[in-house]
Amino acid sequence: MRNGVSAGSMKKSFKGKRPRKVPAGGRTVGRAASRTGSRRPLAARPGAGRRQRRSARTHRQSASGRISRAFAAKAAGSAAARWQREGAADGAAWRAAHPAGTAEELWPYAQRAWTEKAHGSLASASRAERKRLCRDGSAYAAGIRQGSGMEVPGELLPLKGTASAVVYAGADAQRLRAVLAELERLPLVEIVVVLGPDALPMQAELLSHPRIVTVGSPDGYASPHAARAAGARLTGADTVLFADGAEPCPARLLGLLLVEADAGADAVLSDRTAQEGTFDRRGGASWLREFLNVTLGKPGLRANAVGGVPFALSRRALDAIGPEALEMPARAQASLLASGLRVAVCDDVPFSGERDSPSSAADYHTAAWLDCLSARGARLGFPDHKRNRQAIGGGGDGSDDGRHPQL
Amino acid sequence: MKDRTGSDRFPRRRRARPPAHRKRALPAGKGRASARPARRTARRPSAAAEPGAVQGADRTGARGEEAWRPPAVSVIIPVMNEKRTLARVIREAYRVHPRTEVIAVLNGSTDGSLAIAKASGARVLAFDRPLGHDVGRAVGAREAAGDTLLFVDADMVIPAARLRDFTEAIERGTDIALNDYSGPRKRPVVHNVILAKHALNALLGRPDLEGASMTAVPHAMSRRALAAIGAEALAVPPLAMTKAIHAGMNIKRVRHIDVGSLNRPRTKRERTGSLEPLIIGDHLEAIGWWLKRDGSGPPKPAAEALGGDGA
């Protein structure tokens, strides 16, 4: 997980890396050197620098009181074992109390129990710790299965609030079924399926699912974004997950988006930049998305933006921008950032790959910049204090925010 | 002969004007302004007659003995403390075309660049304080008389043969000839200035220009383009480029000159006063103009302009 980290702060972290020290006079270090009597300086021996760096890192971590990676893995393993033991005990207790209980009845019980248990850890948890809690949820579920003798039919997520999902269903029924199968493994209060014109025949089948709500328009929707915006209007959950109806994503990964939004992020985005390759191959739409983030002071978001499914929004975010804003994703992104809402990127969750028509990206971004520039001035606070435009009779365009005070 | 003084100090044959190529080859500061070859006297006659055209400007070097012919090429060089390279830059500029005027816009120079510019025969517009980024180009362009305007920087010596590609492209009908330089971009993360240039070109429906921009030198433009966008727009190069695209100018990437490696590293400036916010702001100013131009709604770039991903 990462959020909008500025390029500046990234540079600082690199600057902070200590340069490797090479002993003066080429002093030989290590058992191999003394055995062979080598007088070659440390840096000259193959692999020596790497060994030294590794040992120095371990040393620093020990000196600063941090736990080593091996120790962390062992601790995580023991935590998982502990959660599994607790799950087994809780599962056995539930089984004893509900001898005729079904798996569908077991899941809400396990979900509630897990949320209560994880709640104490969740209050002050870092992103890494929240991610680990999701893994521990699987261990706890395994324990429940062991104790109750029944499989928990979904993911156990430490969610304080309610969650729902919105999916736009296109023409591919087979893929939609796979998508819904994953979504049904999540503790969602409802799944809103927005039916495109080609998916309307599936309505009867979909309504047989207890948590699915369908909505459709005989005229269809202008874009998948417009369809999801229509679906978002129907749900009142605390967190809303937006998923691609044509590309299934594992419930375990979708759960990370929900947990992060439930923990306080207003928008949690899937990571598309990792798939896009080098800058020159990414294309104009990606450049526009990234530049919009840069101009709104969030370069750390790279080319990730609302609209790239899957993503999750908090109720606060939906109320702030309005569900209809999602019809134009760049506008929604600009609105979120301009409102000071917290936007995070979940590195573990890949972008589904849903594509729009190329010209729509330009429309979305021009609308986004039009809003921002109208509200916050021609340069969005990027200063131009040193230019003497008077020497050339004004120059430039727009209001003179950030210009030389004498101009 | 031993004790000769004043005008008699040198034998008469030595005072004869040397051939043009020898004179141009003199090292920085050694040449005398009065010894310029005849082709450099091509100047707009009003230049000497209107000393107040640019406030605070001091024009020198005019020699009006011969019949005036308008220059074909005006090379505009903003200068701020560039004594190390200025003479060589001016020398290369004069080699671009037989009828070239070189306009050195000195702003806030205190290192003797003024004397070098005068000695090199350039037309000098001098300002006692820095004009700020890109304003020098706009000031120089306003005073230029050539049919082709070539913009170079004073800290970057680019051989005339390479510069000629830009002016010749203008002569062949291009309105704005850009340096085909997009910066290092075969990597996942690029500098925000490179990003800004690509994004603006994509938004304007010209992704084929990649990261080429009027922000980078060298670039050349026709008088027609200057008239269409106005000299003052050159103070904000992305805005000038946007206005040129809107005016339907013929803009091309002409030749790759790796200014990234020619630019001397300015680590102190990057630390204390990076140009990145200025250039991002410039691009936003350009986008703002594009969105509001003529009071019409946002323009629609060509559908194929943005490539595959439009989300």
In a domain, A100, yes or no: yes
Summarised one tens digit per residue, pLDDT across range B211-252 is 999 999 999 999 999 999 999 999 999 999 999 999 999 999
B30-74 per-position pLDDT tens digit: 433 333 443 444 444 443 333 333 434 444 445 556 677 889 999
Give A 316-335 residues with CB within 8 A of chain B: 329
Q: Which of B190, B285, B298 sits opposite A398 (nearest CB)?
A: B285
What CATH number corresponds to the domain at position A276?
A: 3.90.550.10
Give me the amino acid identity at A34.
S
Distances (CA, A) of B295 to A283, A313, A380: 29, 35, 21
C-alpha–C-alpha distance, residues B43 and B40, integer Å: 8
Our CA-based measurement puts residue B293 at a distance from the nearest CA of chain A, in whole angstroms, of 10
Q: Are residues A124 and A146 in the same domain?
A: yes
Q: What is the mean pLDDT of residues A104-121?
A: 90
The answer to whether residues A244 and A356 belong to one domain is yes
Domain-located, residue A39: no
State the average pLDDT over residues A299-314.
Answer: 96
Q: What's the residue count for chain A?
A: 407
Cα–Cα distance, B219 to B16 (Å, whole number): 38
Q: What confidence score (pLDDT) does residue A67 get?
A: 52
Nearest to A386, CA basis, from B141, B160, B161, B275 = B275
Residue A261 in domain: yes
**Residue A354: C-alpha distances to residues A244, A247, B274, B289 (Å):** 7, 8, 37, 32
Nearest to A358 among B55, B135, B304 (CB): B304
**Interface mutation target, options A12, A273, A279, chain B, most CBs of B under 10 Å:** A279
Fill in the DSSP letter of residue A241. E
Among A158, A186, A209, residue at a domain's last position: A158
Contact check, Cβ <8 Å, A294/B192: yes
Chain pair A-B, CB pairs under 8 angstroms? 209
Number of domains in chain A: 2
A164 has a chain B CB within 8 A of its CB:
no
E strand map for A17-82? none
In this structure, what are the phi and psi dihedrals at residue A155, rounded to the nearest 5 degrees? -80, 145
Cβ–Cβ of B306/A363 closer than 8 Å?
no
Residues A301 and A198 in one domain: yes
Give every CB contact of residue A175 below 8 A, 6+ residues apart in sequence: A245, A246, A247, A248
**Chain B residue with the nearest C-alpha to that of A329:** B311
Phi and psi based region of residue B129 (left: phi greater than 0; alpha: psi -120 to 50; beta: remaining): beta
For residues A254-261, give the mean pLDDT.
Answer: 96
Asked if residue A312 is part of any domain, the answer here is yes
Contact assessment for residue A196 and residue A220, using Cβ atoms and an 8 Å cutoff: yes
Q: Flag whether residue A393 sits within 8 Å of chain B, measured between CB atoms.
A: yes
CA-angle at B272, arms to B268 and B287, nearest 5°? 115
Clarify whether residues A167 and A115 are in a common domain.
Answer: no
Q: What is the pLDDT of residues B177-203, one digit of tens each?
A: 999 999 999 999 999 999 999 999 999
Is B199:A295 a contact under the CB 8 Å cutoff?
Answer: no
Record: contact A404-B132, CB cut-off 8 A: yes
Distances from the Cα of B138 to the Cαs of A341, A372, B149, B244, in angstroms?
41, 29, 11, 15
Asked if B281 lies within 8 A of A384 by C-beta distance, the reply is: yes
Contacts of A259 (CB under 8 A, 6+ apart): A130, A133, A134, A157, A158, A159
| CB interface of A with B, residues 170-189, below 8 Å | none
* Reported ipTM: 0.78
The helix/strand/coil state of A34 is helix
Query: DSSP string of B31-72?
Result: S-GGG--GGGG---THHHH-TTSSTT--------SSPP---S
- Does A295 contact chain B (CB < 8 Å)? yes
Confidence of residue A128 (pLDDT cuts 50, 70, 90): confident
Whether the predicted pLDDT of B81 surpasses 60 = yes
Angle between helices A284-295 and A329-338 (to 10 degrees): 20
Same domain, A136 and A175: no
Nearest to B135 among A282, A366, A389 (CB): A389
pLDDT at position A355: 79
Judge whether residue A38 has pLDDT over 70.
no
Alpha-carbon torsion angle B34, B40, B42, B48, nearest 10 = -40
* Domain contains A395: no
A76-104 pLDDT tens trace: 668 889 999 999 999 999 999 999 999 99
B71/A376 Cα distance (integer angstroms): 45
Q: Where among A158, A186, A206 does a domain terminate?
A: A158
In the predicted model, what is the mean pLDDT of residues A7-31?
38
A10 close to B (CB below 8 A): no
Scanning A224-283 for CB atoms below 8 A from B yields: 273, 276-280, 282-283
Single-letter amino acid code for the residue at B282: D
B133 → chain A, closest CA residue? A387
A71 touches chain B (CB under 8 A): no
Q: A64 lies in a domain? A: no
Stronger pLDDT, A128 or B148, i.e. the higher one: B148
Q: Are A354 and B311 a contacting pair at CB < 8 A? A: yes
Q: At what angle do helices A358-376 and B276-292 cross, to 10 degrees?
A: 100
Q: Tell whether A7 is within 8 A of chain B (Cβ).
A: yes
Average pLDDT over residues A31-51: 42
Which residues in chain B are closer than 8 Å to A387, comparing Cβ atoms?
131-135, 235, 278
The pLDDT value given to residue B15 = 41
Percent of chain A past pLDDT 70, that is, above it, reads 77
Q: Do B307 and A358 make contact, defined as CB atoms within 8 angstroms?
A: yes
Partner-chain contact A397 B232, CB within 8 Å: no
Q: Enter the tokens of residue A7.
A: 């390029």
Poorest-confidence range of A90-104, A121-135, B84-98, B142-156?
A121-135
Chain B contact present for A368, CB below 8 A: no
Domain boundary among A129, A158, A187: A158
A296 Cβ neighbours under 8 A, 6+ residues apart:
A334, A337, A338, A372, A380
Please tell me the distance in Å from A300's CA to the nearest CA on chain B.
10
- Quick one: pLDDT at residue A57? 45
- DSSP state for residue B265 in the 8-state scheme: P
Chain B contact for A363, CB < 8 A? yes
Give the pLDDT band (50/70/90) at residue A60: very low
Which stretch of A104-113, A130-139, A337-346, B281-290 has the lowest confidence by average pLDDT?
A: A130-139
DSSP 8-state symbol, A310: S
Cis peptide before A248 (omega within 30 of 0): no
pLDDT band, very low/low/confident/very high, at A274 (cuts 50, 70, 90): confident
Tell whether A77 and A170 lie within a shared domain.
no
Contact A396/B236, CB-based, under 8 Å?
Answer: yes
Same domain flag for A140 and A265: no
Q: Which of A190-204, A289-303, B292-306 has the lowest mean pLDDT?
A: B292-306
- Does residue A203 share a domain with residue A124? no
* Strand ranges inside B131-258, DSSP E: 148-151, 176-179, 219-222, 251-255
Q: Which of B130, B203, B300 sits opposite A288 (nearest CB)?
A: B203
Q: Is A388–B130 a contact, with Cβ atoms under 8 angstroms apart?
A: yes
Rounded Cα distance, A176 and A247, in Å? 8
The answer to whether A176 and A150 are in contact (CB under 8 A) is no
Identify which has the larger pLDDT, A358 or B54.
A358
| Torsion (CA) B27, B30, B33, B38 in degrees, nearest 10 | -50
Distance between the two ends of chain B, CA-based, in angstroms? 86
Residue in B185, B235, B280 closest to A389 by CB: B235
Closest CA to A243 of A188, A180, A201, A322: A180
* A270 pLDDT tier (thresholds 50, 70, 90): very high
Q: Are residues A154 and A240 in the same domain?
A: no
> Are A109 and A221 found together in one domain?
no
What range defines the domain where residue A118 resides? Answer: 72-158
pLDDT of residue A259: 95
Chain A residues lying within 8 Å of B309, measured CB to CB: 276, 282-283, 285-286, 355-356, 358, 361
pLDDT (0 to 100) of residue B261: 82
Q: Are A83 and A139 in contact (CB under 8 A)?
A: yes
Closest CA–CA distance from residue A385 to any residue of chain B (Å)? 9
Q: Return d(Cα B51, Cα B125) in angstroms, integer.
A: 10
Contact A296/A380 with Cβ under 8 angstroms?
yes
Checking if the pLDDT of A2 tops 80, the result is no
Asked if residue B82 has pLDDT above 60, the reply is yes
- For residue B236, the distance in angstroms to the closest alpha carbon of chain A comes to 6
| A249 and A139 share one domain | no
- How would you write B111-168 as a 3-class SS string? CCHHHHHHHCCCEEEEECCCCCCCHHHHHHHHHCCCCEEEECCCCCCCCHHHHHHHHH
Contact A235, A164 (CB under 8 A): yes
pLDDT of residue B294: 58
Contact A294 B196 (CB under 8 A): yes
Q: How far is CA A170 from CA A134, B41, B217, in A?
A: 31, 72, 49
Is the model's pLDDT at A237 over the cut of 50?
yes
Residue A283 is nearest to which of B205, B284, B307, comparing CB atoms? B307
Q: Reading across the β-sheet that carries B251-255, which strands appear in turn?
A: B123-127, B100-107, B73-79, B148-151, B219-222, B176-179, B251-255
Residues of chain A positioned with their CB less than 8 A from the CB of B307 = 283-285, 358
Chain A interface, best mutation among B284, B289, B292, B296, by max A CB count within 10 A: B284
Determine the Cα–Cα distance for residues A105 and A97; give it in Å rounded to an integer: 12
B305 CB neighbours in chain A (<8 A) are 284, 358-359, 362
pLDDT-based confidence at B16, cuts 50/70/90? very low
* Shortest Cα distance, chain A CAs vs residue B56, angstroms: 10
pLDDT-wise least confident of A162-166, B22-26, B67-71, B88-92:
B22-26
Cα distance from B275 to chain A (closest Cα, Å)?
Answer: 10
For residue A16, is it within any domain? no
Are A351 and A244 within one domain?
A: yes
A378: which chain B residues are within 8 Å (Cβ-Cβ)? 284-285, 288
Pick from B128, B291, B306 the residue to mutate for testing the A interface (most A CBs within 10 Å): B306
Is residue A292 included in any domain, yes or no? Answer: yes
The answer to which of A315-324, B233-242, B287-296 has the lowest mean pLDDT is: B287-296
